[in-house]
Amino acid sequence: MFREFPELKPPHGKFRIIGIEMFENPGEGHWVVEDLDDAEEAIKKATLMTKNASKDVDNSKDATIFCVYDENGNYLGGDIYSKK
């Protein structure tokens, strides 16, 4: 993800929450929410944000999701529709 969108990479030692509008075209509809020091805190917050944003949505294709990534571009959680 960071190769395509380097602005989404968090600073060293941080965990970045990214908002994604799933119904937008690829490369559009994503934004930085915030950077946190603790991975668990970031995942809990992103998961709650996804649940709140998706409560009136029937499928993931229409959802707004919030995902957490580390400085290496590893997805850590937050997307309630993900199989991970």
Which DSSP string do the residues of 24-58 spell out, in sequence order?
SPTTSSEEEEEEES-HHHHHHHHHHHHHHHHTT-S
Looking at residue 8, its pLDDT comes to: 77
Q: Collapsing DSSP states into helix, strand and coil, what is residue 7?
A: helix
Residues 6+ apart with CB under 8 A from 32: 7, 8, 16, 17, 18, 19
Give the model confidence (pLDDT) of 44-67 as tens digits. 999 999 989 888 777 666 678 899
pTM for this model (two decimals): 0.82
At 74, list the tokens. 């590893």
Q: Which helix (H) or strand (E) holds 69?
A: strand 64-69
Low-confidence residues in the chain, pLDDT < 70: 1-5, 24-27, 59-62, 82-84
The percentage of residues in the chain with a pLDDT greater than 90, rounded to a whole number, is: 42
Quote the pLDDT of residue 54: 81
